[in-house]
Amino acid sequence: MMGRLPIAKMLGVTVVLTAAISAVMLSVNWNGQDASTAAPKIDQLLDVMIVLSSFVFALVMVMLFYALWKFKAKPGDESDGEPIHGNTRLEIAWTVIPTIIVLFGGGYSWAVLNDIEEPAKDPITVNVFAQQYAWSFGYPGKGNAWSEGELHVPLDRQAQFKMHAQDVIHSFWVPEWRIKKDAVPGITTTAIVTPDKLGTYQLICTELCGFGHASMRAKVVVETPADFRKWVAALPDTVPQPLAESIVQDTETDPVPLGAGGA
């Protein structure tokens, strides 16, 4: 039966449909403004995945509509369908093609992740404390200065955010930076970001963490190193004792912790 299918024609239609769907989907700026060195790489990864998904969608639609049109029962035909047992060629195709697509997607994502998490020589470390329903931040390289509800980082310098959840799981997300990382009670998770555009952004908790989840936000300011130094020097408080203890108690998950940098 496979031999009688117009495979070349179906593939042709699939390619044209893939191009058309991709063109529409790629015309949308899904992730919005970008403000970190990782953002363009993640956006490109998404674009590639969109094209691959469009191909799979187009292929399934072409086969579905071909089958609907070609094998429709004639009016009055009440007979059973043809009994079909395995089709080796088809089974090999539908195993091999998805395997290649998934392996490619996995390998490409791995390479991008490796690239954007490559530790820089002189990162700044920021401790991020997440609790229902607020964020606060400690600057270990600046005498453990502490800020509540407002995070400042210098421009063009890798920031390593060490997450310390105080109660339930929260998640650290600044959309313009693209990076997302869960803050999990008991362990230290690390988000690595190099902000490359000055501006004011919003940190959003992106893990449903309770009644006040929707309002769990903080202001994020990316500023020049000089402005950052001035701001952090003027902070009146240092990290309070219970939060400082959570740093010690949490288990480090990064195999090569970079320590408290950021002088």
- Binding interface with Cu ion (CB under 5 A): 170, 205, 209, 216
Burial (CB count within 10 angstroms: exposed 0-12, middle 13-18, buried 19+), residue 68: exposed
Q: Which residue number, 192 or 218, has a Cβ lying nearer to Cu ion?
A: 218
Q: Which residue number, 21 or 205, has a Cβ lying nearer to Cu ion?
A: 205
Minimum CB–partner distance for residue 208 and Cu ion (Å): 8
Tokens 């299918």 found at = 5
Largest CA distance in the chain: 85
Residue 199, beta-bridge partner list: 222
Q: Which residue number, 216 or 232, has a Cβ lying nearer to Cu ion?
A: 216
Q: Which residue number, 35 or 216, has a Cβ lying nearer to Cu ion?
A: 216
In this structure, what token pair is assigned to residue 8?
């070349």
CA 159, CA 152: separation in Å to the nearest integer? 10
In this structure, what token pair is assigned to residue 179?
């990076």
CA 191, CA 210: separation in Å to the nearest integer? 23
Minimum CB–partner distance for residue 49 and Cu ion (Å): 27
Determine the angle formed by the axes of helices 7-26 and 39-70, rounding to 10 degrees: 140
Minimum CB–partner distance for residue 170 and Cu ion (Å): 4
Q: Which residue number, 139 or 173, has a Cβ lying nearer to Cu ion?
A: 173
Minimum CB–partner distance for residue 186 and Cu ion (Å): 16
Minimum CB–partner distance for residue 105 and Cu ion (Å): 29
